Amino acid sequence: MKIVTCLDYSSFTEEVLTTIKSFISSISNPQITVLHIIDQQLFYPVTGYEIPLGEDIEKNSAELQELCIKYLGNSINYIAAYGIPALKADEMLAGMDYDLLIAGSHSRHDLGSRLVGSFAEHLLRNSTKPILIIP
């Protein structure tokens, strides 16, 4: 089974990876691609901190890759790409062959106003393949 998971690097990441690891343990020979989309909007030159921010984001991406290997194994295909997350995800997923899409659902807003994060909601509404949202 070919699985694509869209991940970011946050305090929620290890919980998502733990769930994915548990889920794939029952699948024979899973082929996992991790898609990390780095929000290019963070780089608009307005603060003068773009270079340190870029270095931090590159470091976070490397740490995310290490976490993915730790939880999902050495054979994962890790792809980091820059773009507007929803648009870049649509573009990249359209060109990928996969059976299942996995994403974490968490909100950056208060829980009462939103139960599904906007990126996960976008994936859910636009996916042409089965999708698993991890709460």
Burial of 74 (0-12, 13-18, 19+ CB in 10 A): exposed
Q: Where are the chain's structural domains? A: 2-134
State the Cα torsion 19-11-103-121 to the nearest 10°.
130
Tokens found for residue 55: 């270095």
The fold of the 2-134 domain, in CATH, is Rossmann fold (3.40.50)
pLDDT tens column, 52-111: 556 777 888 899 999 999 999 999 999 999 888 899 999 999 999 999 999 988 644 444
Alpha-carbon distance 95 to 59, whole Å?
A: 27
pLDDT tens column, 12-38: 899 999 999 999 999 999 999 999 998
Alpha-carbon distance 124 to 135, whole Å?
A: 13
Tokens found for residue 117: 């994060």
Q: Is the pLDDT of residue 112 over 80?
A: no
Tell me what pLDDT residue 12 has: 86
* Predicted TM-score of the model (pTM): 0.82
Report, in this order, helix, strand and coil percent for the chain, each rounded to 5. 45, 20, 35
